[in-house]
Amino acid sequence: PIPSDNIWEKETFKEYLKVIGKEDK
């Protein structure tokens, strides 16, 4: 895995957490 991909995944995961947090299902 490339570090740049890791950073991108981390940012995406943060957005994902935001979404599931808003859904709160």
Q: How confident is the model at residue 1 (pLDDT cuts 50, 70, 90)?
A: low
**Predicted local confidence at residue 4, as pLDDT:** 63
What confidence tier does 25 reach under pLDDT thresholds 50, 70, 90? low
3-state secondary structure of 23: helix
User: What are the structure tokens assigned to 22, written together?
Assistant: 């808003």
DSSP at 6: H
- For 3-18, the pLDDT digits (tens) are 666 777 888 888 888 9
Residue extents of the structural domains in the chain: 1-25
Q: What is the pLDDT of residue 22?
A: 84
- Of residues 11 and 23, more confidence is placed in 11
